[in-house]
Amino acid sequence: MLREQQVFISDVVKRERFKMIVSHMASGKTGAALDGARWLLDNQRVSRILVVGPKLVAKDTWKDEIETWEHTACLSKAICVGTPEQRRAALALDAEITCINRENLTWLWQEVGGLTGWRFDMVIIDESSMFKAGKKRTSKTRVRDKKSGVMKTRKGGRMTRFGVLAQARPKIRRLIELTGTPGELIDLWGQFFLLDQGERLGHDREAFEGRWFKKNQYTHEISPYDHSEAEIMGKVSDLMVSLPKLDIVPPPVISPVWVDLPADTMAEYHRFRRTLVSEVYDIEAVNSGVLTNKLMQFANGSMYNEAGQVIPVHEEKLDALDELIERAAGENFLIFYSFRFDLDQIRRRHPDAVVLNEHDDAIARWNRGEINKLLAHPASCGHGTNMQFGGHLAAWFGLTWSLELWLQANMRLPRPGQESIVGIYPIMARGTVDERAYGALGVKDANQQRIIDAVKAEIGR
């Protein structure tokens, strides 16, 4: 049976053609949206629904939800995830609900022949913050080759997942966006463009930023004008609703674990921060943006040089992680890592650890209690993944600047069905960029919460 908040979400899905629904993580919004979708299909308001989400959400969460509820188990479904052959087979089913991961949207667009072959009259975006960038085409970028580790230039101009939905939007009669983390003001343009095709916040992202945001010419930091929040929220409030948070599960207890780097290591850290050059490790940062990333690498224990080679710096965080695992006395541990070298270092210390994205059944095995140490990048399991049955302890080996990844990852364990208080341990190097990142996450959280509060529904009225 649906809870009161879930009934509210279901009613919004039935009633509203275009809406962003903000509901806190682990609130059951997937099941509620599915209930509304079933009603729309039964009443012939829509014929085919495309659910877009992160890979694990598209592959497992929606499929499990459809099969769990008695009144939705009869719906035909297709999971458009995996190899091109598997995706084509899924599309051939022409199911009532097709689930696809966000990375495959451009493939879908090409496969169906663009707008001419677009068959989905309703789209549900599970975690709409995936579309906050609002870019229709990719830009030229520098990326590190996974095999050689060498930096290479990737050409731009390819259609993005945002570009696909923006192009398909004229054929989409209903579009529902679900999220627990809508982001800050600067993140709203892309999400609302898909809802109203630019009616409220404008048709161009640059014009949106130019109207409501100021840019520091030295740091390039973008911040809203004093009047921007009230004006933007006044324009979009009719397309957005948030639900009050219910304490279905106790919130996680976040306990920072501070490590002190050796004096000579800290001295080199500060020299590098001041000069952008580390002679000790023969590494140079070409600008302040690169420097910030290098300093986070430094704080974690290694750095990449220009050739993509890993240069060891210290092992203080590894020692702290060892202590946490030892104190857990055999309890299962979920460990979030930032860089590839973090993963490699942890695996050398703990060869029994399992990496989430290397095994299709890792989450199922974790929830059955078969994995003692699960290593995951927060982007690989941060949205809608149910992991509450496998343990109640998590650690961050390195922090992130992304509030979305931070909040989403921290809610993988404290979900309905969790029987213990969840403990989360971010491991941070004192006196480093870790302190700035941790503080920035708190500021961003406060900014996002004001947006959520501005459109909060009063359930039962």
Are 335 and 193 in a shared domain? no
Residue 329 lies in a domain: yes
User: Does the pLDDT at position 458 exceed 70?
Assistant: no
Contacts of 310 (CB under 8 A, 6+ apart): 302, 303, 304, 341, 344
Of 442, 425, 437, 422, the C-alpha closest to 259 is: 425
Closest residue by Cα to residue 179 from 442, 386, 452: 452
Q: Please, are residues 103 and 12 in contact by the beta-carbon 8 Å criterion?
A: no
Picking from 246, 273, 298, the residue at the C-terminal end of a domain is 246
Q: Are residues 400 and 328 in the same domain?
A: yes
Q: What's the domain range around 291? A: 262-313
Q: Are both 280 and 422 inside the same structural domain?
A: no
CATH number for the domain that contains residue 343: 3.40.50.300
Output the pLDDT for position 360. Answer: 85
Q: Are 37 and 10 in contact (CB under 8 A)?
A: no
Assess whether 86 and 135 both reside in one domain: yes
8-63 pLDDT, tens digit per residue, is: 999 999 999 999 999 876 678 888 999 999 999 999 999 999 999 988 788 888 88
What pLDDT, in 10s, does the model give residues 369-389?
Answer: 999 999 999 988 766 678 999
- Whether 456 shows a pLDDT value over 90: the answer reads no
The pLDDT tens digits for 232-275 are 999 999 999 998 876 667 888 899 999 999 999 999 999 999 99
Residue 301 shares a structural domain with residue 339 = no
Angle at CA of residue 27, ends 21 and 33, nearest 5°: 50
Last residue of a domain, one of 246, 276, 302: 246
> Average per-residue pLDDT in the chain?
90
Regarding whether 163 and 295 lie in a shared domain, the answer is: no
DSSP string, 139-167: PPEEEE-TTT--EEEE---PBPHHHHHHH
Q: State whether 168 and 277 are in the same domain.
A: no
Tell whether 31 and 146 lie within a shared domain. Answer: yes
Other residues' Cβ atoms within 10 Å of the Cβ of residue 184: 20
- Do 202 and 155 lie in a common domain? yes
- 320, 401: one domain: yes
Please check whether residue 176 is in contact with residue 13, taking contact to mean a CB–CB distance below 8 angstroms.
yes
- Kindly report the CATH number assigned to the domain that includes residue 242: 3.40.50.10810
* Residue 292, domain member (yes or no): yes
In a domain, 450, yes or no: no
Task: Give domain status of residue 442, yes or no.
Answer: no
* Local structure of residue 204 (DSSP, 8 states): -
DSSP state of 440: H
Residue 461 lies in a domain: no
339 in any annotated domain: yes
In a domain, 345, yes or no: yes
Is residue 130 one of the residues assigned to a domain? Answer: yes
Cα of 439 vs its chain's centroid, Å? 20
The verdict on 49 and 59 lying in the same domain is: yes
Q: Is 391 helix (H, G, I), strand (E, B) or coil?
A: coil
- Predicted pLDDT at 145: 64
Number of domains in the chain: 3
Q: What is the pLDDT of residue 381?
A: 79
Residues 270 and 379 both lie in one domain: no
